[in-house]
């Protein structure tokens, strides 16, 4: 039987551990014996009923996994039973077994851990897709990345710095500010005590903004963009409905765009994976680009992992493991 976490009936209730039949692979799917699963902000939203799974997808929490191949569908010829794999799923990650389409699977390099692998896809795909594909960020341009110490934000800061962009970012605490600097941010704005728009305008504005806050930042984001600037919205932590000064859009020739990952079609996700690998495989192999894992929790302590994320105590990623050893702070990135 497959042991999984299901959503409680009410968001205030703890996650519920239950048993379900083992998943059976469709023709193009792999059954993964999950060793580690990434925790994402979206998981917190899903349990509050704000981010339902797409139709026909698992309603079990968990959007990214790493583990061993247990079984493969009849059309899967590129992965063998026992291989170590990781990848993006539309749900089902908080479980002992999870289905993964083989076209979204990556092999885990011998010198990398399940924890490393479970932390890579959501942040890597989201940051690459929105900075470089939708935001069209070019080497030498400037970018403001909000919540630079978040999982996705930290990946975006690192990627933009590796592309020799000038990176400005916002975050709350001194620890998180120092973390953003280690990733390559040139200017770190303590947004709780300083207005980010003042700092960014004093610096001459930015070409691209990657935003997770939405409505609360809309007006200041537009004021922070240079002529021809691009605002890419990927999160709505500060609300979904804002007031838009269209005269700024016209006068500065601005573009506003955004995207989600989970609800995209399989074909689109395969394309997203392809763009990520094309852009970053070399940096991943030589360890220039890697997820920073703040803390691991045993799967049975998913509730505590959620509390850590909800309280914004972390920077980088939080990962659940099947290993039942106690929560480990600052797990080594490669272990």
Ligand X SMILES: NC(=O)c1ccc[n+]([C@@H]2O[C@H](COP(=O)([O-])OP(=O)(O)OC[C@H]3O[C@@H](n4cnc5c(N)ncnc54)[C@H](OP(=O)(O)O)[C@@H]3O)[C@@H](O)[C@H]2O)c1
Q: Which residues bind ligand X (CB under 6 A)?
A: 40-42, 122, 126, 147, 149-152, 171-172, 176, 212-213, 234-235, 237-238, 259-261, 309, 312
CB of 277 to ligand X, least distance (A): 17
Alpha-carbon separation of residue 188 from 117, 133, 151, 181 (angstroms): 28, 24, 16, 7
Report the distance separating Cα 264 and Cα 268, nearest Å.
Answer: 6
Q: Give 70 or 121: the residue with its C-beta nearer to ligand X.
A: 121
Phi-psi region of 148 (alpha: psi -120 to 50; beta: other; left: phi over 0): alpha
Q: Give 244 or 260: the residue with its C-beta nearer to ligand X.
A: 260
CB of 215 to ligand X, least distance (A): 10
Structure tokens of 68?
């061993």
Q: Give 238 or 298: the residue with its C-beta nearer to ligand X.
A: 238
CB of 254 to ligand X, least distance (A): 20
CB of 171 to ligand X, least distance (A): 4
Q: Give 67 or 151: the residue with its C-beta nearer to ligand X.
A: 151
Report the distance separating Cα 130 and Cα 235, nearest Å.
Answer: 11
User: In which element (H, E) is residue 247 found?
Assistant: helix 246-252
Q: Give 212 or 289: the residue with its C-beta nearer to ligand X.
A: 212
Taken in order 312, 120, 92, 19, the sign of the CA dihedral is negative
Residue nearest to ligand X (CB): 235
Q: What is the CA radius of gyration of the chain?
A: 20
Residue among 55, 61, 65 at smallest CA distance from 41: 61
CB of 124 to ligand X, least distance (A): 10
């Amino acid at each position: 039987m497959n042991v999984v976490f299901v959503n409680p009936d009410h968001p205030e209730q703890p996650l519920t551990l239950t048993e379900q039949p083992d998943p059976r692979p469709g023709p193009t799917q792999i059954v993964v014996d999950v060793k580690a699963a990434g925790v994402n902000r979206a998981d917190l939203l899903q349990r509050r009923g704000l981010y339902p799974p797409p139709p026909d997808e698992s309603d079990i929490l968990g959007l990214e996994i790493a583990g061993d191949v247990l079984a493969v569908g009849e059309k899967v010829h590129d992965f063998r039973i026992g291989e170590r794999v990781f990848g993006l799923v539309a749900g089902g990650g908080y479980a002992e077994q999870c289905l993964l389409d083989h076209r979204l699977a990556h092999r885990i390099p011998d010198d990398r851990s399940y924890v490393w692998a479970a932390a890579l896809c959501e942040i890597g795909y989201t940051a690459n897709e929105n900075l470089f594909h939708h935001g069209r960020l070019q080497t030498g341009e400037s970018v403001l990345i909000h919540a630079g110490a978040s999982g996705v934000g930290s990946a975006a800061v690192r990627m933009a710095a590796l592309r020799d962009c000038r990176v400005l970012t916002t975050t709350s605490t001194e620890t998180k500010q120092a973390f953003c600097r280690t990733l390559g941010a040139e200017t770190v704005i303590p947004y709780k005590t300083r207005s980010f728009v003042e700092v960014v305008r004093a610096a001459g504005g930015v070409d691209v903004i990657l935003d997770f806050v939405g409505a609360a930042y809309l007006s200041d984001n537009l004021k922070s963009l240079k002529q021809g600037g691009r605002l890419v919205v990927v999160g709505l932590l500060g609300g979904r409905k804002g007031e838009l000064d269209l005269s700024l859009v016209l006068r500065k020739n601005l573009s506003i765009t955004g995207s989600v990952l989970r609800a995209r079609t399989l074909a689109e996700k395969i394309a997203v994976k392809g763009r990520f690998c094309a852009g970053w495989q070399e940096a991943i192999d030589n360890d220039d680009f890697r997820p920073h894992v703040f803390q691991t929790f045993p799967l049975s302590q998913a509730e505590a992992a959620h509390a850590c994320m909800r309280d914004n105590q972390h920077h980088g990623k939080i990962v659940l493991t099947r290993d039942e050893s106690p929560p480990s702070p600052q797990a080594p990135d490669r272990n």
